[in-house]
Structures are given as C-alpha cells and as structure tokens.
Amino acid sequence: MICMHMKTIKQKQNYFLDYSKIYFSDYKKNRISFLKRKKNFFYEISSFINRCIHNSNRTLFFCCGNSIIADCVSAKEKLVHEINYSYTKRNKIKKKLNGKLISSCDHIVITDSEHQKDLMSNLNFIEKNLKDDAKVILVSKSLIWMILINIFRKSFFSQKYFSTNFLPFKDLKEIFNTQKFEFIRNEKLIVFPFKLPIINNILNTVFRLPLLNFFCMINITVFKKKIINRKKGNISFIIPCKNEQDNIPLIKKEILKTDKKIEFLFGNDKSTDKTKDQLILLKKDLKNYKIKIYEGPGISKSKNVYKGIDLASSEIIVIYDADLTVPIPNILQAIKMLNNSNFDFINCTRMMYPQKYGAMKKMNFLGNIFFARLFSILFNQRITDTLCGTKIFYKKDWRNIKKTNSHWGTEDKWGDFDLLIGAYHNNLKIIEIPIPYQERVADETKMTSLFSNTIRMIYIVMAAYFKLKIKK
C-alpha cells in the first residue's frame, strides 16, 4: 500500500494526453488513446466531486487503477493511495498508508470499488482512523450499466480485462453501514459518457432529474462516521426581534423555565416600538441568566440572525422566532435528540402535527407545501417545511455554511434557504423533527409581500440547483 502527494493541477483541454505519460510509462499508446476517449467521462465525475469537497483542506483518494479522477479534482491538498500493484511497480512508489494520514484528511474519495479484493477490510481501517467530522465519498457504477459493459466486452473484445467483484449500490450501502458509516446523500449522474456538443449536456442534465436518474451510470454517495458518544455542548438561542414589544414579557416567562446555562441572544433589528426597552428590562430582571442584546443591521432577518450566530459562544445554535409560535420546551427536546444522535442539522417542521385554526395563513401554508416539494425533488433531501424559522445546528458547521450565504442568485432575506442549502452543500446529515405550531400571541407577522418573496425564493432554489448539480 502506498500514498503519494500530488500538486493541484488546473484543468486543461489536453490534460489527459499530457499527464498520462507521468502515470503510465508502459503501454503509452494504448493509454493515451483510452484517456482521449474517456476524457469527458472523467471530467463529469471530477466536476461533481469538486462541489462535494469544496471546503476540504486535505483529500485522500483511495483509488484502484489510474488515479485520473484524483488528477483533475482541484482540492487544496491531494493524496493518492493506490492499491494496484502493477501501477506501484512501474512507478516505484513505496510510501505506506497509515492512520495518521487518514486522520488528517477532511474527505476520503473511494473510486473503483469493484476492483478492491477486500473492501470491508479497507473500510474498517479507514473508519478506525477517520476523524469525526470527515466525510467519505464513494464513486460507484450502476448495476444496469455494469451488465451492459460486461456483455459488450465479452461480445466484441478478445482482450482479457481485470476481474471485478462488482456490487450493486444497495449492497455497497449495506457494507458501509456494517463498517460504522452512516449514509448522508446520493447523487446520480452521466447517462451519456461521450462528448457530443449540446446532446451530451442535454442528456446528462435531464437524466439527473428524479425517476429518469435510474438510467444514470454513476452513483456518488456521501457517508460519515457514526459517532456513538457525542459530547453534549452548551446551547445558544438566537432570537431576532423586530417590533416585538408585547412578546418580550412572554419570552421572559419561557426563559424562567429553562436551564441558567443556556445563552439567549436577542437581536433588536431597528425596532420602531419599545422592543429595545423591553429587552433591557428583561436582561435586568434575569441577572442570573446569560442574556445578550445586540443591534441588528435592520436590513433583513437573515443578516440579524447571522450576526447573532457570530456572537454566540456555545457549540449548539438554535434559531428561534420571538413570536412564541413554537414552545421552547419542544425545542429543548429536539436538542436532546441532536446530542443523542448522529445528525448534524435539525430542521423543525410545523407541517406534521395538526395546527390550530388560524395559526398559519392559507397562502403561507400552501407556499410551505410548494417549496418543500420543490426542494425535496431537486435536492433528493426530504423536507416538509423549508420556511420554518426554527433550526438547530453546530457552530463549527456554521463556518462553512457562512461562506456560501447569498451565493444562490440573490439575497435570502429570511435565511431559511441559505441554511438548508448550505447544510446540503457541506454534506451535513439533515433531519426533520415535528414541533407543535400555535397562533402568534401578540404583534403581527413580518411575512409580507408574499408574491415578491415567492419569486425570490423560487429563484434561490433554482439557482442553487443549477450551481450544485448542473454547472461544471
């Protein structure tokens, strides 16, 4: 077993022809011909992997064959572990793979699993040395394509190929599960592997949609290590406030029911009523509690929330609306589930439990259903309530989510899509937890201009889908 440090190489049109000489000194003519024919195939895969590992400092490619995918992926630092002995012999590489190397990596990319003699042992070794927040990305071929390829080889080629131990995706997923890896998400791509102008792009774009993606050749699956004993972290509530003077005294009663270790950050977002005075009074009355008041920018709810997250001192972040439509005890119960599970991001949903009459306006209700279906279909991530303001996640993950905020075509004024898409983009394991939803007690809802907000949110979702799944 060997490992090799690789410099980041920029994608070039003639890349595969130029660099094939480095890796394959033998059989040069055959190899160059192969790479020329398969250039588009490898480029499609590497482009998608680039989006999966965008926040990685060090990436290990656990390969078996030619390492071409590793070559054209633009990671900050790349390591290649080759287990093809003929390859190692030709290139005289002897450096061994060890646990310290694996523990320093943010992502492990496994390709050509069908050529590995003992995949389970390899996974076991990786899992034992993998750090908790690292991700494993598996690139595998679909069953229908492998059957067609094998039939084609036997029928038209006399040349002998390496024997494979091909496993369907379901079996691969089960093997990862037995080796203490947890499934996060799966993407399907490439239905037409050859480069044909326009036709190629159309087919590979259309066939990534649900149902049609059954015919795709490649599965790219993201896994994470199962964490058995997760440390319980401190909690920070981020509560944006804009003209909530009548709700502040009610929030005070809820805070008195909670643990004094919980931190509450109130963001006064340029309120025109007595909200600020009420917050000062609340902090004075609750001296034994961790209460912080900060001034929001007054631009949008999202900017107010993001500022509060940056100021928070706890490991667990809770975004909570000041309208008290969601009881705080239910939120604390959801936090316990986060501590006792392997999830990274909790999106609370108001759409599972029965709602009191008038708690949510009909147009808001229909809008929630529409955006939930749209998000679930496009991103293959089941979400029933994209617009719920209550979300729970770890602050360490916020650092990566923050980098992509408002990168989806236009500014997200509410922040719900920024957070959900950011969690998806950073390969976080997302779960929904149902919460009771009740009618606002005091003041009025800030969700106005439904038509313009609807257009804005559709634009954000579609732009994110294009950038994360279509754009190369």
Q: Is residue 307 within 8 Å of 294, Cβ to Cβ?
A: yes
Same-domain pairing of 156 and 244: no
Same-domain pairing of 69 and 173: yes
Q: Tell me, what's the pLDDT at 89?
A: 44
Same-domain pairing of 200 and 256: no
Same-domain pairing of 32 and 140: yes
Q: Tell me, what's the pLDDT at 36?
A: 63
Residue 419 lies in a domain: yes
Q: Which of 190, 225, 260 is the last residue of a domain?
A: 225
- CA dist., res. 180 & res. 171, Å (int): 15
What is the edge-to-edge ordering of all strands in the sheet holding 181-189? 4-6, 78-82, 59-63, 107-110, 135-141, 218-225, 181-189
Residue 230 lies in a domain: no
Same-domain pairing of 144 and 261: no
Q: Which residues contact 340 (CB under 8 A, 6 or more apart)?
A: 230
Closest C-alpha among 83, 218, 65, 82 to residue 149: 218
- The pTM assigned to this predicted structure is 0.83
Amino acid at 180: K
Same-domain pairing of 455 and 345: yes
Same-domain pairing of 367 and 266: yes
Residue 107 lies in a domain: yes
Same-domain pairing of 68 and 138: yes
Per-residue pLDDT of the chain (472 residues; tens, 9 = 90+): 333 333 333 333 333 334 333 344 444 455 556 666 677 778 788 888 998 898 888 998 887 655 677 777 888 888 887 655 444 444 443 346 778 888 999 999 998 777 677 788 888 889 999 998 899 999 988 877 777 766 766 665 555 554 566 778 888 889 999 999 999 999 888 877 777 777 777 887 887 777 788 888 888 999 999 887 777 889 999 999 998 998 999 999 989 989 899 999 999 998 999 999 999 999 999 999 999 999 988 888 999 999 999 999 999 999 999 888 888 888 998 898 888 788 899 999 988 887 776 667 788 888 889 999 999 988 988 999 998 989 999 999 999 999 888 788 788 888 999 999 999 999 999 999 998 887 766 556 655 667 788 899 999 999 999 888 877 6
Residue 421 lies in a domain: yes
Q: Which of 225, 249, 266 is the last residue of a domain?
A: 225
Helix then strand count (H, E) for the chain reads: 17, 14
Same-domain pairing of 302 and 449: yes
Closest C-alpha among 447, 455, 458, 457 to residue 321: 447
Residue 74 lies in a domain: yes
Same-domain pairing of 79 and 193: yes
Q: Token pair of 14, please? A: 């003639």
Q: Which of 200, 225, 250 is the last residue of a domain?
A: 225
Residue 333 lies in a domain: yes
Domain with residue 118: its CATH number is 3.40.50.150
Domain with residue 444: its CATH number is 3.90.550.10
- CA dist., res. 440 & res. 433, Å (int): 21
Q: At what angle do helices 362-379 and 450-465 cross, to 10 degrees?
A: 10
Closest C-alpha among 342, 320, 317, 340 to residue 329: 320
Same-domain pairing of 319 and 272: yes
Residue 289 lies in a domain: yes
Residue 295: CB atoms within 10 Å: 12
User: Which domain covers residue 55, as residue numbers?
Assistant: 4-225
Same-domain pairing of 390 and 437: yes
- What DSSP line would sit under 426-439, residue for residue? TT--EEEEE-----
Residue 186 lies in a domain: yes
The DSSP bridge pattern shows strands 263-268 and 235-241 to be parallel
Q: Tell me, what's the pLDDT at 308?
A: 95
Number of domains in the chain: 2
Query: What are the helix (H) ranges across 119-245?
Result: 119-129, 143-156, 169-178, 199-206
